[in-house]
Amino acid sequence: MFKNLFSWSKRVKKLDPDKIPEHVAIIMDGNGRWAQKRGLPRTAGHQKGVQTLKEICYACGELGIKYLTVYAFSTENWYRPTSEVNFLMELFKKAMRNEIGELEENNVRVRILGRRQGVDPDILAEIDRVEERTCKNDGLILSICFNYGGRAEIVDAVKKILSKYHFHESIDEEYFKEFLYTHGLPDVELLIRTGGEQRLSNFLLYQSAYAELVFTNVFWPDFTKKDLVDAIYEFQNRERRFGRIGKV
């Protein structure tokens, strides 16, 4: 235990406290392969993945990250076998129900981002409950992307704008952001994908325009707060240019 504590603080010490990313986003991938490697059903990986999310969420708080946005279920994940989709729906519902107390205690504000259409009313009720119960918390803002697609989000934003305005002069990039599910959140600075794939899979397309991407082969259920620190370390050692010449 002491060894663990020691290696954690040693790792954190290598970070520059003035350059902690404000907004970290994670594509939590590799649950199925994690389970299959152990001869377990894919669902066991999803179950373990919930524990990982808890650990990472509190580590983000400790590190001073203000916004954590995670990808839990995509608009394309409905095309998986019904048994897996049903399991994921139940797991999401149960996780929200079971974790609400701890999230409240830890001052975490939860937002669920995605399309409500097509989601079971039971789940929508849990979403409303968790958002309402945590809305006054002013610690970490945890946004969980559920029934989320980056393209769907942009299309939905356009629809909202069209239903409100008949002119377009005032619409610019900053203003457009306020119509996305992520309204109020700053751009993603660091985007981590676990599980070895190097793609966005329709995640935060607008918000990640200048995010630093960090890919790791670690499957999500095995991802630890040490891996998180390593990803932040890599972020801190990148040169961000935003199209300019030299460091910004």
Chain centroid to Cα 108, Å, comes to 14
Q: Decide if 170 contacts 146 (C-beta within 8 A).
A: no
Q: 142 pairs with which residues across the strands?
A: 68, 110
Contact status: 92 vs ligand IPE (CB under 6 A)? no
- Minimum distance from CB of 32 to ligand IPE (Å)? 3
Among residue numbers 20 through 59, which ones bind Mg ion (CB under 5 A)? Answer: 29
3-class secondary structure, 126: helix
- Minimum distance from CB of 64 to ligand IPE (Å)? 25
Query: Does 23 belong to an annotated binding site?
Result: no
The answer to whether 29 is a known catalytic residue is yes
Spatial neighbors of 248 by CB under 8 A, at least 6 apart, are: 240, 241, 242
Query: Does 42 belong to an annotated binding site?
Result: yes
The answer to whether 77 is a known catalytic residue is yes
Q: CA-to-CA distance for 2 and 21, rounded, in angstroms?
A: 28
What letter would DSSP give residue 139? S
Q: CA-to-CA distance for 218 and 34, rounded, in angstroms?
A: 9
Q: 109-148 mask for ligand IPE (x: CB under 6 A)?
A: ----------------------------------------
Among residue numbers 49 through 78, which ones bind ligand IPE (CB under 6 A)? Answer: 71-74, 77
Task: Produce one character per residue of 142-176: b if its CB has 16 or more CB atoms within 10 Å, e if not.
Answer: bbbbbbbbbebbeebbeeeeeeeeeeeeeeeeeee
Q: Please provide residue 7's backbone torsions phi and psi, each rounded to the nearest 5 degrees.
A: -70, -30
Q: Of all residues in this chain, which one has the CB nearest to ligand IPE in the complex? A: 32
Contact status: 222 vs ligand IPE (CB under 6 A)? no
Query: Does 45 belong to an annotated binding site?
Result: no
Unique residue bearing structure tokens 């504000």: 109
Q: Which amino acid is at 1?
A: M
Q: How many residues bind ligand IPE (CB under 6 A)?
A: 17
Which of 114, 149, 150, 195: binder of ligand IPE (CB under 6 A)?
195
- Minimum distance from CB of 195 to Mg ion (Å)? 6
Binding region for ligand IPE (CB under 6 A) out of 12-20, 22-30, 116-124, 130-138: 22-30
141-148/67-74 β-pairing: parallel
Which of 21, 30, 114, 149: binder of ligand IPE (CB under 6 A)?
30
Which of 20, 23, 32, 235: binder of ligand IPE (CB under 6 A)?
32
| Residue 74, contacted partner among Mg ion, ligand IPE, none, CB below 5-8 A by kind | ligand IPE
Query: Does 173 belong to an annotated binding site?
Result: no
Closest CA relative to residue 152, chosen from 77, 66, 49: 77
Q: Which residues are annotated as a binding site for substrate?
A: 30-34, 42, 46, 74-76, 78, 80, 193, 199-201
Which of the residues are catalytic?
A: 29, 77
